[in-house]
Each structure stands twice: as C-alpha cells, then as structure tokens.
C-alpha cells in the first residue's frame, strides 16, 4: 500500500501537535541555515579580501616565507620579469589567470625628522595599476564598491601609511586625520642628542614647516645590509583594522621600493602575486606553475604558495566557524531527534487500537514500523522544507534590511549579508540531514508500535 | 466440512501474581459456511476464544486449525499473511481507520492482499452496494453513524472473500434496532458470499439467528447446538 498519503493524513490528524513539531523544525533549520549562511559569508568575505590583496598564489624564493621576514631583500627573485612573462604566455594558465604582478616587501625605519620622531615600519612596493585590477576581483558578488589604491595617479615618490604610523610620526594634523590624537608629553629632543644632530633636526623641522609637512624619510637596509634612505611624500594615511598593522604599514610604488632596496644592483621582487578567475582553479594552476618553473627555471629555489598557506588565519577562522556550525547543527539535530521522537511516541500511544486493528487485518510488524517511520520522515521533510523556505525568506529580509556590521579586522562597516540562497550543498545537507534525523527518531516509537501484541493493542483504551 | 477445528485449547492470563484461567481444554468444530454464535455471559472467555481462532493470539496449549492449517505452525509474518487472505474481523467498536474514507477502509485489506486495482475497485463497489452505503463511499468514519460504520466494517471484513469472518459482539455498541439491522445484513451476506461467520454475543436476538450455537461458561464449553442439521 502506498503509505505516503496515509502518513500525510495521519499527520494532519493532530494538527496542533504536528504544527508544534514543524515549528521546532523550522526554527532549527533556520538556525542552522542562517548561521551557516552568515559563516559562509564571512569565509567568502575573508577569502575575497585576501585574494584581492595577495592573490591566490604567490611564487616566492623557497625560503622566503619561513626565513625572509628579517631580510626580504636577500630572498629576491632576480628573474621575476621572465617568470611573469612565462606565466602570462602559458596557454594553460592564460584562461585562469587574471593578474600576475610583482611585489617587494621591505622593513625599515620611517622618520619625520621635522618632528624628531621615527619608528620601524614594514611594507612594500606594488605595481599600482595591477593592484587596482586585483581589487576588482569579486567572484562571490559582494555588494561592495571597489576604490582604487591611494597610490593611484601619484608621483613615483608617493607613500601611503597606516594611521598609526601617521600618529606616531605626528602627521595627523598635516594629513587632516580624524580621531588621531597628538601626544600629551612632547618627546624629548635637543637635550639628549648631540648638538649637531639637534641642530640638523631643527633645521629640517623649519624646512618642513615651510613645505606641506608630509614628507617622511624611509631608512632601509639594502641587499648588502648597508643603509639607504628614500625621501617619500605621504599622500594618504589609511586606517587598518588591526592596530599592529596600522602602526607599521607603509606602501609605495614598486620602482621606488626597488630603488630603495637594490639601488644600482639588479632590481628584484620578493614575490610574484597571481590572481586567478576562480578560487577552485588553485590546484590546477599550481600544478601547471610548478611544471613551468621546473621547465624554464631549473635549479632555481622557487616555490608556489596558496593564499591559505600565506594567511594562516584564514584556515583558522574557517575552521572555527566550521566547528561552531557543526556544534549548532548537532545541537539542533538532537533537539529535532527528541521532538520528533516525542511526537511519534504520542502518536503510537494514541493509535494503539488502530495498530492492533491493522495487524489483525493482516499488516505485518514491518508494515507498522514502516508506517511510523515514514510518518516521522515525512514530518521531518515537511519541517525541513518549511525551514529552508523560511530561512531563505529571513535571509532575504536580512540582506535587504540595510543592516551592516564591522567584521573583525575591518575598518569600515560592510553590509550584513547571509548566504543561504545558492549554497546548495548546505541547503540540501540540511534538508536531507533533518529528514534523516526525523526518520531515525521515529524508528524507536515505530519499533515499539510494531512489537505490540495484537490483543493487547486492541484492548487498549 | 469443518472450517475451524480446535483441540485441547487452553489459555490463561497472569494478573499480577495470580494465574487466571480464561479457557480450559476447549475442543470443538465450526462448520464451514454457517453462522455460528459463541454465547456466554461476560467474562466467560468468548473474546479470548475468538482471538485464538482468528490467529491474533496464540493458545498456551492445544491446536487451532483453520481449513486444515495449524496456526501454530505459522510464524508471525506468515500468520499475518494468513489473516490478510483468509480471515475477516468485525469489532465491537468498529475499528475503522479514521483517516480513510469508507471506500478506502474497505479497500485496505485488498491492498494488503495485493489485489490488482481494477479488481479492487469492483470489489469495493460491490461490497458498499451490498451493505447499502454506495452513496457514502467518500465519507470518513466520523461522518457516519454507528450503524453505518459497522456496515463499512462488515464490508471490510468480507473484502478479500475470507473463508472465516469473526465478529466479537458486533452489536454491543449499537441500539437494538440498528443491531438487528446489522445482524440481518450479516446473515444475508453470509448466505450470499458463502462465508463462515463466527460471532460472540450474549444477545438473545443474535442467538436466534444462528445456525449453530456454542455455549461457553467459565472458559469451558457447556453445550453445542446444531440447529440446521437438516436444512443446510
Ligand atoms: N489481558 C487479560 N489479562 C488478564 N485477564 C484477562 C485478560 N483478558 C481476559 N482476561 C480474563 O479472562 C477471562 C475471559 O475473558 P474474555 O475472553 O474477555 O471474556 P468475554 O469476552 O466472554 O467477556 C475473564 O475472566 C477475563 O477477566
Ligand atoms: Mg468479550
């Protein structure tokens, strides 16, 4: 006998109880999907952010990632131009590749001699036009507008610094940065330094006051360990979400950085940043890159790293959300298990005489079991379908509700979006998972129903 | 020809610490295509006996044979299948499935017996016609009177053309007029369909209709009347 319509009718019999169970399942499915959609959105948002700034893959000196931090200049890629040419020309990579651009990382000391202050900074040189193209990447269609780099259209000696750098270097006023206090205590000058240096500083200060007041000196060690200085013009101070970074970061034109680090030597890059059209192309692209490097640059200590390796926090955050999601899903699974099980137990008790009757007229024990399991699974299916629909609706409302939030590490609030629609794996998983859980939770009551003795069941009142 | 043969059948229940003998050493035969009534006061063991004959309970001792088949030899599934094909039940409280219409209630045993759709439809129509409820086919049990419900139950019991139809006090929950109607209906259908009917009842009106009467008291048979020895 076709048990589905029978199960459906039985569910409609005690509408109130079925509705309560459905409601619990809807709330559960909604919790899973909304949180899942939120976590998914964060993961993709982070990924988008990383990919826009540092690409999907980077070609680096084999030891740069682990050892290059202290002295980036020593791990430069002299052949970076040729590598980029080979990569761009490759017919396998071409359809995947969006941007291939060199970067040069460096560390140094930035000083505002006019104010008599300096601090260590990290940063690097970038090819601005190519970086701007990287910032266009939006494979997950985030509702964001992309602003070009502050270095765009600036003179070769331009530099962009973190607001923290600007604060320490006392450039807040000249750069007109908001929320950027000046220190309460004047830093010690004059007394503790030799007269000639104090005089020099004073002179510089006087000069600077006359000019626009936004020039800094950047002192860096060149590839041989000797100091080199560049005078750079601060065009903007950009707040960074993480204070440590905000207090340290400088960004300049690639050529200027090369000149600072390599002077008259062969200019190098510390990394070649590759951005692909889609993140899932990483494995294929990587395989091809390794082939190309081995073929064209044999013996060179090169390596290819993906963005997840370069940004270990990405994996950690994804893992953390995964764990929370799993916990929530488990919790809701257990709640659904008990709710459906309870509902089905009550149904079995209520319908004991009916069970006896069905058995008397010839339905086997297995038939009774099937009847209740199907009923539970149908309840589960109805609940999870309704839950999915409601979650989609709720997500739509949230996405169109104009809500915004500031993710950790971000400076500006972003629209609060929840990705439920289109996340077919999650939707299908929730649907099938909850239906399965409901079917399983009906199993025990169904088993109990099937094991009833017919005469006892018929005598039940 | 014997439809049912019982020999040495005993059944007792445990009520707490005490053994309650419900039936002791029952042995008799029920003739095929007759209307047999098990008669006796309340608590005499009628229901227990009918349950054993219908294969929904098993005796502690003795044998129950239906059409020569020893029910004790069948496992639970085989016994279920046997009931589905060979035995029809009519209950005191009608016991229709509330979510099914009159039509579907009658159809249900045919589905269990895997009767093809066309034959099913024909049989259900025919039976609803026979019990006078052709126009109530789409009604659910709660849209039917007690008498109508029991008529649906009669149709359901007969759906698979069982060799044996068992009814445990089928008129106990009906007023005497309606009850008499049901008895008359069953009597008519029993003759038309050549079925073997076994009733339990302590209603004298029912007893009057019976071909055979088995009198039972305190779990033992006190008398067996075969009224139509000659006319059968
Ligand atoms: N499940 C049971 N547990 C204990 N005693 C029972 C049970 N069913 C029936 N009995 C007892 O068995 C005897 C026969 O009962 P029953 O077959 O129901 O009689 P009747 O149908 O004639 O009223 C009675 O004494 C009754 O109390
Ligand atoms: Mg009884």
Distance A369 CA to ligand 2 centre (A): 28
Q: Is residue A194 very low, low, confident or very high in pLDDT (cuts 50, 70, 90)?
A: low
Containing structural domain, residue B25? 2-96+164-231
Q: How far apart are CA A214 and CA A201, in angstroms?
A: 15
pTM for the model stands at 0.80
Question: Alpha helices, DSSP H only, in A211-311?
Answer: 243-246, 254-262, 282-296, 307-310
Q: What is the pLDDT of residue A45?
A: 87
Taking all residues of chain B, what is their mean pLDDT, rounded to a whole number? 92
Q: Give the one of B51, B100, B111 whose C-beta lies nearest to A455's C-beta.
A: B51
- In the numeric block, which tokens belong to residue A448? 């109990």
Contacts of A89 (CB under 8 A, 6+ apart): none
Task: State how many domains chain B has.
Answer: 1
Do residues B108 and B102 make contact, with C-beta atoms less than 8 angstroms apart? no
Contacts of B35 (CB under 8 A, 6+ apart): B186, B187, B190, B197, B199, B209, B210, B211, B212
Ligand 1 pocket mutation pick from B10, B12, B13, B206 by most atoms within 8 angstroms of CB:
B13
Percent of residues, chain B, with pLDDT higher than 90: 79
Tell me the pLDDT tens digit for each residue of A129-167: 999 999 999 999 887 778 899 999 999 999 999 999 998
Reference B60, options A359, B52, B80; nearest CA is B52
Q: How far apart are CA B172 and CA B165, in angstroms?
A: 17
Q: At what angle do helices A365-399 and A312-350 cross, to 10 degrees?
A: 140
CA dist A277 to A44, A459, B173, Å? 15, 71, 78
**Cβ(B38) to ligand 1 under 6 A?**
no
Asked whether residue B86 is assigned to any structural domain, the reply reads yes
B135–chain A Cβ distance below 8 A for any pair: no
Mean pLDDT of A388-396: 94
Q: How far is A367 from chain B (nearest CA, A)?
A: 10
Q: How many residues does chain B have?
A: 232
Asked whether residue B112 is assigned to any structural domain, the reply reads no
- Buried b / exposed e along A329-352 (16+ C-beta atoms within 10 A): beebbebbbebbbbbbbebbeebb
Q: Is the pLDDT of residue A1 over 80?
A: no
- Which residues share a beta bridge with A119? A110
Size of interface A-B (CB pairs under 8 A): 68
Q: How far apart are CA A48 and CA A70, in angstroms?
A: 28
> Which residue has 């750098």 as its token pair?
A165
Distance A114 CA to ligand 2 centre (A): 110
Tell me the pLDDT tens digit for each residue of B154-198: 999 999 999 899 999 998 888 989 999 999 999 998 888 888 999
Q: Give the one of B87, B93, B112 whose C-beta lies nearest to A1's C-beta.
A: B112
Do residues B87 and B166 make contact, with C-beta atoms less than 8 angstroms apart? yes
Tell me the pLDDT tens digit for each residue of A220-250: 887 777 888 999 999 999 988 888 889 999 9
Q: How far apart are CA A87 and CA A89, in angstroms?
A: 5
Q: Is residue B63 very low, low, confident or very high in pLDDT (cuts 50, 70, 90)?
A: very high
Please count the other Cβ atoms lying within 10 Å of the Cβ belonging to residue A461.
5
Taking all residues of chain A, what is their mean pLDDT, rounded to a whole number? 88
Asked whether residue B57 is assigned to any structural domain, the reply reads yes
Tell me the pLDDT tens digit for each residue of A401-458: 888 888 777 777 778 889 998 889 999 999 999 999 999 999 999 999 999 999 999 9
- In the numeric block, which tokens belong to residue B199? 């009733």
Radius of gyration of chain B from its Cα atoms, rounded to whole angstroms: 17
Q: How far is B34 from chain A (nearest CA, A)?
A: 21
Asked whether residue B133 is assigned to any structural domain, the reply reads no
Q: At what angle do helices A15-54 and A365-399 cross, to 10 degrees?
A: 50
Q: What is the pLDDT of residue A203?
A: 60
User: A281-290, A393-402, B67-76: lowest mean pLDDT where?
Assistant: A393-402
Strand ranges for A51-116 from DSSP E:
57-61, 97-112
A364–chain B Cβ distance below 8 A for any pair: yes
Distance B163 CA to ligand 1 centre (A): 26
Q: Which residues of chain B have a CB within 8 Å of the CB of A10?
A: 99
Query: Are B98 and A354 within 8 A, CB to CB?
Result: yes
CA dist A72 to A69, A103, A218, A229, B214, Å? 6, 11, 16, 16, 108
Mean pLDDT of A66-93: 89
Distance B48 CA to ligand 2 centre (A): 7
Q: What are the phi and psi torsion angles at A268 (to 5°)?
A: -130, 175
From atom 14 of ligand 1, which residue's Cα is the shortest distance away? B45
Q: How far apart are CA A184 and CA A166, in angstroms?
A: 16
Tell me the pLDDT tens digit for each residue of A302-361: 999 999 999 888 899 999 999 999 999 999 999 999 999 999 999 999 999 999 999 999
Reference A409, options A247, A241, A243, A246; nearest CA is A241
Q: Is the pLDDT of residue A207 over 60?
A: no
For this complex, say whether ipTM is above 0.90.
yes
> Which residue has 């309650």 as its token pair?
B20
Ligand 1 pocket mutation pick from B9, B18, B20 by most atoms within 8 angstroms of CB:
B20
Reference B92, options B51, B150, B16; nearest CA is B150
Nearest ligand 1 atom to alpha carbon B20: 5
Q: What DSSP element (H or E) covers B221?
A: strand B220-226
Reference A431, options A351, A377, A358, A353; nearest CA is A377
Burial class (CB in 10 A: 0-12, 13-18, 19+), A184: exposed
Q: Is the pLDDT of residue B122 over 90?
A: yes
> Which residue has 């169109």 as its token pair?
A400
Q: What are the phi and psi torsion angles at A305 (to 5°)?
A: -120, 145
Q: What is the CATH number of the domain that holds B77?
A: 3.40.50.300
> Which residue has 């930035």 as its token pair?
A110
**Cβ(B44) to ligand 1 under 6 A?**
yes
**Greater confidence, A402 or B147?**
B147
């Amino acid at each position: 006998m076709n048990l589905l319509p029978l199960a459906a009718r039985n569910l409609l019999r005690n509408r109130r109880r079925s509705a309560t169970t459905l409601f619990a399942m809807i709330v559960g499915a909604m919790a899973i999907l909304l949180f899942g959609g939120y976590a998914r959105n964060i993961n993709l948002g982070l990924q988008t952010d990383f990919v826009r700034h540092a690409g999907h893959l980077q070609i680096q000196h084999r030891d740069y990632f682990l050892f290059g931090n202290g002295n980036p200049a020593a791990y430069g890629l002299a052949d970076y131009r040729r590598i980029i040419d080979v990569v761009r020309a490759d017919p396998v990579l071409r359809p995947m590749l969006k941007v291939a651009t060199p970067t040069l990382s460096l560390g140094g000391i930035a000083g505002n001699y006019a104010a008599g202050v300096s601090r260590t900074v990290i940063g690097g040189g970038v090819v601005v036009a190519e970086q701007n193209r990287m910032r266009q990447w939006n494979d997950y269609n985030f509702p964001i507008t992309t602003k070009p780099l502050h270095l765009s259209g600036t003179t070769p000696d331009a530099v962009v610094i973190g607001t923290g750098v600007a604060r320490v270097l006392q450039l807040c006023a000249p750069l007109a940065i908001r929320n950027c206090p000046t220190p309460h205590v004047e830093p010690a000058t004059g007394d503790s330094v030799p007269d000639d240096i104090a005089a020099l500083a004073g002179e510089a200060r006087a000069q600077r006051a006359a000019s626009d007041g936004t020039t800094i000196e950047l002192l860096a060690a060149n590839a041989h360990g000797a100091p080199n200085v560049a005078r750079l013009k601060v065009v903007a101070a950009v707040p960074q979400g993480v204070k440590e970074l905000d207090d340290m970061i400088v960004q300049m034109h690639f050529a200027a950085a090369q000149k600072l680090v390599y002077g008259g030597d062969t200019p190098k890059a510390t990394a070649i940043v590759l951005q692909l059209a889609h993140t899932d192309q990483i494995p294929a692209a990587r395989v091809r890159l390794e082939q190309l490097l081995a073929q064209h640059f044999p013996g060179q200590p090169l390596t290819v790293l993906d963005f997840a390796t370069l940004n270990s926090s990405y994996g950690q955050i994804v893992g953390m959300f995964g764990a929370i999601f799993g916990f929530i899903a488990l919790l809701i699974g257990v709640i659904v298990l008990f709710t459906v099980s309870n509902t089905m137990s009550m149904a079995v008790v209520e319908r004991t005489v009916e069970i006896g009757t069905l058995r008397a007229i010839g339905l086997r024990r297995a038939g009774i079991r099937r009847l209740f399991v199907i009923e539970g699974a149908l309840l589960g299916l109805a609940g999870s379908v309704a839950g999915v629909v409601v979650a989609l609706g709720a997500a739509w409302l949230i996405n169109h509700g104009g809500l915004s939030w500031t993710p950790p590490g971000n400076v500006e609030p972003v629209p609060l979006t929840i990705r439920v629609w289109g996340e077919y794996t999650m939707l299908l998983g929730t649907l099938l998972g909850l239906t399965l859980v409901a079917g399983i939770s009906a199993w025990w009551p169904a088993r109990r129903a099937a094991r009833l003795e017919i005469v006892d069941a018929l005598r039940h009142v | 020809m014997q439809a049912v043969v019982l020999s040495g059948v005993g059944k007792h229940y445990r009520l707490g610490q005490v053994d309650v003998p419900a039936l002791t050493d029952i042995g008799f035969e029920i003739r095929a295509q007759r209307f047999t009534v098990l008669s006796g006061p309340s608590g005499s063991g009628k229901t227990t006996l009918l349950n054993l004959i219908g294969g929904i309970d098993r005796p502690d001792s003795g044998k129950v044979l239906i059409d020569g088949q020893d029910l004790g030899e069948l496992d639970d599934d085989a016994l279920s299948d046997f009931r589905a094909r060979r035995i029809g039940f009519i209950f005191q409280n009608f016991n229709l499935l509330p979510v099914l219409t009159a039509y579907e209630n009658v159809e249900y045993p045919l589905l269990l017996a895997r009767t093809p759709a066309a034959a099913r439809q024909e049989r259900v129509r025919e039976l609803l016609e026979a019990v006078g409820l052709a126009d109530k086919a789409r009604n659910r049990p709660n849209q039917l009177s007690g008498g109508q419900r029991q008529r649906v139950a009669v149709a359901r019991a007969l759906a698979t053309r069982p060799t044996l139809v068992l009814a445990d006090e089928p008129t106990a929950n009906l007023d005497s007029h309606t009850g008499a109607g049901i008895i008359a209906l069953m009597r008519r259908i029993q003759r038309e369909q050549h079925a073997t009917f076994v009733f339990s009842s302590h209603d004298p009106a029912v007893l009057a209709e019976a071909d055979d009467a088995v009198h039972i008291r305190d779990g033992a048979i006190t008398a067996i009347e075969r009224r139509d020895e000659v006319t059968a």
